[in-house]
Amino acid sequence: MQVQILGHEREIDELRIDADPVTIREQVREYEAGTRDEFDLEITYPDDFTGAVMRAMTDIPVGETRTYGEIASALDSAPIAVGQACGRNPIPVIVPCHRIVGVDSLVGYGGGLDLKRQLLEHEGAPIPDER
Q: Give 87-103 pLDDT, tens digit per residue.
A: 999 999 999 999 999 98
CA distance 49 to 110: 18
Q: Exposed/middle/buried for 113, CB within 10 Å: 0-12, 13-18, 19+?
A: middle
| Residue 104 confidence (pLDDT) | 86
pLDDT at 10 over 70: yes
pTM: 0.92
- Write down the catalytic residue from 60, 71, 85, 97: 97
Q: Domain tally for the chain?
A: 1
Q: What is the CATH number of the domain that holds 65?
A: 1.10.10.10
Strand, coil or helix: what is 102? coil
pLDDT per residue over 46-68, tens digit each?
999 999 999 999 999 999 999 99
Q: Which pLDDT does position 44 carry in this prediction?
A: 96
Q: Residue 61 domain-assigned?
A: yes
In a domain, 99, yes or no: yes
Domain that holds residue 28: 2-123
97 is catalytic: yes
- Report pLDDT for 107: 84
Q: Is position 129 within any domain? A: no
Residue at 89: amino acid letter: N
